[in-house]
Amino acid sequence: MSDQTITSVSRESRVFRPSAEFQRQANLGSLAAYKRLYAESVNAPEKFWGRQAKELLTWRRPFKKALSWKLPHAKWFVGGQLNVAENCVDRHLGTARENKAAIIFEGEPGDIRTLTYKQLHREVCRFANVLTGLGVGKGDRVAIYMPMVPEAAIGMLACARLGAIHTVIFGGFSSEAIKDRVNDCQAKVILTADGGWRRGKVVELKTNVDRAVGFTPSVQHVVVLKRTGNAVTMTEGRDRWWHELVDAAPVEHRAKGFDSENPLFILYTSGSTGKPKGVLHTSGGYLLGTAITTKYVFDLKETDIYFCTADIGWITGHSYVVYGPLANGATILMYEGAPNQPGPDRFWEMIDRHGATIFYTAPTAIRAFMRWGDEHVKKHSLKSLRLLGSVGEPINPEAWMWYHTLIGKKRCPIVDTWWQTETGAIMVSPLPGVTPTKPGSCTLPFFGVVPKVLDEQGREVPRDSGGKLFLKNPWPSMLRTLWGDDDRFKRQYWSELPGYYFAGDGARIDKDGYLWVVGRIDDVLNVSGHRIGTAEVESAMVSHPAVAEAAVVGRPDELKGQALVVFVITKSGVEPTKELREELRAHVAREIGALARPDDVRFAAGLPKTRSGKIMRRILKEIAAGGEIKGDTTTLEDFSVVSALQAQED
Ligand code: WTA
């Protein structure tokens, strides 16, 4: 990759210094303190992390060694035992947090429910007993395909309590996606609901599970939460109602301690080739990573009401709706539905109603709010807010300024947090009250994180020029492997440059040492903050009988960040019609989920290829963006293909 392909055009020069008022009350109060701790975390990582692990987590059996590192395999807190659910729930009992709200839930129709830590404990214990009764034990896999309701978190925590491994499948994914994931990890049980509310309609989750489960022989039971009350088919012996099982379950549950490296969950995410990858996270290191970042990046206080809008089906929902906040004894505000139901001010209304103090969302959502109009924001006071966060994709300076002005009223620091499913926890982010911010930059590394921006030969690129983003040292919440495919784990993340973790992003570091992440440089698209592999969409496309060949590229999109454009060659004799175009879009949505529905399907007679037959995506990207073809086209096999594609643009 040459420097020209990763150019960063943004040259944002505004700097926002933390207010003295915020700084005075911050959990980490000065840049000097950050620098001192950061230096310790990279110079003496075992000492630093060992101390943090003792301070922030409760161990059943103390660990002997903080880190054992045999590149690329890390073991953190070796010999230690803990129970993750106990750390998130039980240890707050008998303290002032016992009767504090753990979860304030708001359903899309407006129903509100609060669970205190004591009540959450009771539910997690009962559900752990339910799972035990269904034969779930240490190491077994449980798939969770649920709406954003407290029971989703209860299901996750109950698995953690038993040392079982959960795999949450985003509720917007299709039955095909459920089938692939469940089969890959051989889940024994699926937790689901009759449905969930989304934009006033019921998303029929159980029906989707039914379509998948005929092809997933490992599944013995499906537990169904009654949420929306729509009719569902229950298969005798296999399907059980959540409430019936829970009503019959004892409330006492004695948790065991598990090895620090006991797997906690698998989360599937898109990679540049083939099927989604099962990213595996384990217990002690993951929990420490999420707990410490929640404490410092969100400056968490006992009195905060913390609102993260991510769905539990994504890593942000795992780390910053469930594990990080609960490990800190926080109050989380959880919302089931769409941000514009019943009106475009639903979030602002909720922030005022519950007095939310911290708000964490994605740039794509911010751009949607901007488009919906300032008047919807101005109707609400938002005076409870004190801190804002952003995650999922680069935030454009314009959206940053809008967030800062309209939502934060110029008073709330913004933490732009860069991290990934694989990193488990926030890697690069400002510390509020400490780090001066620049709109669009995720600024400086968190403790223990050593980002490097390198060129093709592994040399550090000069300040302010683009390169590939790598991480140098191991960190506690790093992925341990890809489920069932350690070779792919090594290939994907550790072979780009020996000794370094390759993030798949392009970035630059400016003269102040601030990191600016440009976006993915592999074949992964970031559509509305969700990772979608071009290979997945292509394979869904060619599974349609009318399609001979397909190539998927991203086109810059004002709202979604990137939009999906598919170039399709139909099979001979198939007429490329408008109807077929719509059918193909719907087909991909059925195969993967609505989030992967192509924005644009373009029929083509041929695709630009090299003489060796490789599709030249760079050219397709330029065509999709409507721009001229720049750069070298001499390796192109047949230039007339390009002219034909360009001519076809409407
Ligand atoms: C992108 C989401 C710029 C990046 C937590 C990364 C970001 C991918 C940021 C991971 C940010 C995430 N600035 N880009 N603050 N946060 N990304 O696995 O391309 O869904 O590699 O994890 O999102 O997406 P994932």
Q: Write out 178-223 in H/E/C secondary structure.
A: HHHHHHHHCCCEEEEECCEEECCEEECHHHHHHHHHCCCCCCCEEE
pLDDT of residue 2: 37
Tell me if 293 CB under 6 Å of ligand 1. no
Contact assessment for residue 263 and residue 164, using Cβ atoms and an 8 Å cutoff: no
Tell me if 423 CB under 6 Å of ligand 1. no
pLDDT value at 78 more than 60: yes
Residue nearest ligand 1's atom 10 by CA: 420
CA distance 432 to 356: 17
CA of 591 to the centre of ligand 1 (A): 24
User: Residues 413-417: what's their mean pLDDT?
Assistant: 98
CA of 119 to the centre of ligand 1 (A): 34
User: Residues 514-520: what's their mean pLDDT?
Assistant: 93
Tell me if 502 CB under 6 Å of ligand 1. no
pLDDT value at 642 more than 50: yes
User: Residues 582-602: what's their mean pLDDT?
Assistant: 95
Tell me if 419 CB under 6 Å of ligand 1. yes
Tell me if 516 CB under 6 Å of ligand 1. no
Q: Which atom of ligand 1 is nearest to the CA of 314?
A: 20
Helix, strand or coil, per DSSP, at residue 227: coil
What is the sign, positive or negative, of the torsion defined by CA atoms of 144, 310, 489, 79? negative
pLDDT of residue 272: 72
Which structure tokens are listed for 430? Answer: 């400002």
CA of 518 to the centre of ligand 1 (A): 10
CA of 402 to the centre of ligand 1 (A): 20
Q: Which atom of ligand 1 is nearest to the CA of 518?
A: 3
User: Where do the domains of the chain lie?
Assistant: 544-649
Residue nearest ligand 1's atom 8 by CA: 420
Tell me if 418 CB under 6 Å of ligand 1. yes
User: Residues 310-331: what's their mean pLDDT?
Assistant: 98
CA of 503 to the centre of ligand 1 (A): 10
Residue nearest ligand 1's atom 24 by CA: 420
* CATH value of 544-649 in 3.20.20.80, 3.30.70.100, 3.30.300.30, 3.20.20.70: 3.30.300.30
Query: How sure is the predictor about 270, in pLDDT bands with cuts at 50, 70 and 90?
Result: confident
pLDDT of residue 610: 78
User: Residues 48-67: what's their mean pLDDT?
Assistant: 98
Task: Give the pTM.
Answer: 0.93
Tell me if 517 CB under 6 Å of ligand 1. yes
User: Residues 492-507: what's their mean pLDDT?
Assistant: 95
Residue 436: asked if its preceding bond is cis (omega within 30°), the reply is: no
When comparing pLDDT for 455 and 632, which is higher?
455
pLDDT value at 331 more than 50: yes
User: Residues 323-351: what's their mean pLDDT?
Assistant: 98
pLDDT of residue 613: 74
In this structure, of 79-83, 191-195, 215-219, 631-635, the range with the lowest mean pLDDT score is 631-635
In this structure, of 14-28, 53-67, 353-367, 514-528, the range with the lowest mean pLDDT score is 514-528
pLDDT value at 574 more than 50: yes
CA of 507 to the centre of ligand 1 (A): 12
pLDDT of residue 492: 94
When comparing pLDDT for 609 and 353, which is higher?
353
> Cα–chain-centroid distance for residue 561?
16
Helix, strand or coil, per DSSP, at residue 397: helix
Query: How sure is the predictor about 648, in pLDDT bands with cuts at 50, 70 and 90?
Result: low
Tell me if 550 CB under 6 Å of ligand 1. no
Residue nearest ligand 1's atom 5 by CA: 420
Q: Which residues contact 524 (CB under 8 A, 6 or more apart)?
A: 270, 271, 272, 504, 531, 532, 533, 534
pLDDT of residue 618: 85
Tell me if 312 CB under 6 Å of ligand 1. no
User: Residues 272-294: what's their mean pLDDT?
Assistant: 93
pLDDT of residue 521: 87
pLDDT tens-digit series, residues 165-202: 999 999 999 999 999 999 999 999 999 999 999 999 99
pLDDT value at 5 more than 50: no
Tell me if 8 CB under 6 Å of ligand 1. no
CA of 316 to the centre of ligand 1 (A): 10
CA distance 418 to 453: 14
Q: Which atom of ligand 1 is nearest to the CA of 428?
A: 15
Among residues of the chain, what percentage have pLDDT more than 70? 98
The strand pairing partners of 525, in sequence order, are 532
Averaged pLDDT score across all residues of the chain = 94
pLDDT of residue 133: 98
CA distance 268 to 285: 19
CA of 127 to the centre of ligand 1 (A): 33
pLDDT of residue 11: 66
CA of 413 to the centre of ligand 1 (A): 20
CA of 383 to the centre of ligand 1 (A): 29
CA distance 629 to 531: 26
Contact assessment for residue 550 and residue 580, using Cβ atoms and an 8 Å cutoff: no
What is the number of alpha carbons within 13 Å of residue 347 lying toward its C-beta?
A: 22
Q: Which atom of ligand 1 is nearest to the CA of 319?
A: 5
Among residues of the chain, what percentage have pLDDT more than 90? 86
pLDDT of residue 4: 39
pLDDT value at 368 more than 50: yes
Helix, strand or coil, per DSSP, at residue 51: helix
Question: Of the residues 265, 286, 391, 528, which should be mutated to test ligand 1's pocket, given the most ligand atoms within 8 Å of the CB?
Answer: 391
Tell me if 345 CB under 6 Å of ligand 1. no
End-to-end CA separation in angstroms for the chain: 32
Q: Which residues contact 250 (CB under 8 A, 6 or more apart)?
A: 126, 129
The residue to which tokens 């207010």 are assigned: 19
CB atoms within 10 A of CB 343: 12
User: Residues 128-156: what's their mean pLDDT?
Assistant: 98
CA of 392 to the centre of ligand 1 (A): 4
In this structure, of 10-24, 332-346, 418-432, the range with the lowest mean pLDDT score is 10-24
Amino acid at 348: W
pLDDT tens-digit series, residues 8-36: 555 678 999 999 999 999 999 899 999 99
Q: Which helix (H) or strand (E) holds 630?
A: none
Tell me if 421 CB under 6 Å of ligand 1. yes
CA of 490 to the centre of ligand 1 (A): 21
In this structure, of 208-217, 232-241, 249-258, 587-596, the range with the lowest mean pLDDT score is 587-596
Query: How sure is the predictor about 7, in pLDDT bands with cuts at 50, 70 and 90?
Result: low
